[in-house]
Amino acid sequence: MGSGDIITPLVMGLLLGGLYALIALGLSMVFGVMRLINLAHGDLVALGSYGAYALMTVVGIDPIVGLVISVPAMFLLGLAIQKYLMGRAFAISSEAPLIIAFGISLVIQNANQIAWTPLSRALNTPYSHMSFTIGARQFPLSYLLDFAAGVVVMLALRYFLTSTYLGRAITAASQDKKAAQLMGINTNRVYGYAFAIAMASAAIAGVFLGMTFPFTPTSGVSFLTIAFGTVIIGGLGSMLGTFIGGMILGVFQTLGGYFLGPAFQMLIVYVIVLVILAVRPQGLFGR
């Protein structure tokens, strides 16, 4: 801080935006398809970070390579949660899924704490502390990886949703559930896959987040706020909007930290979320 150079925080904010979009994609997907704000999403991302941490410290697998194991595992867990908990909750009342998501969030949070203690952890790899230079300025390599991962996952999801049968079925169910059912789409199955895909994306987000920032068992709420802020700024349903929302939030955060000091970074995110809710609840790019 205080180097008098505004370009560095600006670029870092934009790169960070990729990570934020990555965190938000799962939330956006579950909301778009199931009309559920998954209050457990932040804790699922934290679970992804801890999963990678476990694989790295216990087995010695690189976090990114470890995704080969953690993504399918989270996918299956997602299918199970949707089938045994969320699917039933939707039949009970409109607030039941929300309360159950809240319960899941607390269970994951406490389980992480029991397994890994409340201490702050980080995914330290040989390359996570490297940096690259643009002109005369140095940037952490992990931020570039975040951005790349965000772009890759976004493009992959976009391809999946527009060009595969299951993806189109998910899109159809999110646009009009009844019509989709009449067209022979098993919406329960679609919901299951949507939730599972969201959890798989949470696993990926968790890994890159853990390489960029330290995390604790209670980090879930701030991850959720970041995801929600991104979705709110970008507007729901649009992948590109989510990505731009992430970058705007990232830039606000790094610039806020630059001008006001690092302690204010998260506070700025919270305030921006509340201000945008007050001014434009449908999001900056929403209809």
Partner 1 sequence: MGFKTLRQKINLVLTVTCVVVLAALPVIGAPQSWLLYAFLFFVYLAMANMWNLLAGYSGLISLCQPAFLGLAGYTLAIGTWVGIPWWAGLLGGAIVAGVFALLISIPVFRLSGIYFAIGTLVVPEALRMVFYLWRPVGGQMHGAGAGYMIKEIGGVSTDLMYWWALVVGIGSILLVRLILRSNLGLGLAAIRDNERAAASCGVSVFKLKLYTFIVAAVVTGLAGGVYYLYQGYIEPSATFNVKWTMTLLLATVIGGIRTEEGPVIGTIVVVFLYFLLARYAGYSLLIQGIILIGIMLLSPQGIVGVLRRSRLYRYVAECGAP
Binding site for partner 1 (CB under 8 A): 35-37, 39, 85, 88-89, 92-96, 98-100, 102-107, 109-111, 113-114, 221-222, 224-225, 228, 263-264, 266-267, 270-271, 273-275, 277-278, 281
Nearer to partner 1, 100 or 154 (CB): 100
Strands (E) in the chain, as ranges, are: 131-134, 137-140
Nearer to partner 1, 55 or 100 (CB): 100
Nearer to partner 1, 61 or 96 (CB): 96
- Residue 253 CB, nearest approach to partner 1 (Å): 13
- Residue 144 CB, nearest approach to partner 1 (Å): 29
Report the Cα 124 to chain-centroid distance in Å.
20
Task: Please give the Cα distance from 68 to 39 (Å, whole number).
Answer: 26
Nearer to partner 1, 40 or 74 (CB): 40
Tell me which H or E stretch contains 134.
strand 131-134
- Residue 119 CB, nearest approach to partner 1 (Å): 13
Nearer to partner 1, 33 or 39 (CB): 39
Residue in the block written with tokens 């709110």: 232
Contacts of 245 (CB under 8 A, 6+ apart): 20, 21, 24, 229, 230, 231, 232, 233, 234, 235, 283, 284, 285
- Residue 174 CB, nearest approach to partner 1 (Å): 15
Task: Please give the Cα distance from 198 to 175 (Å, whole number).
Answer: 18
Task: Please give the Cα distance from 87 to 78 (Å, whole number).
Answer: 11
Nearer to partner 1, 35 or 129 (CB): 35
Contacts of 110 (CB under 8 A, 6+ apart): 217
- Residue 184 CB, nearest approach to partner 1 (Å): 29
- Residue 113 CB, nearest approach to partner 1 (Å): 7
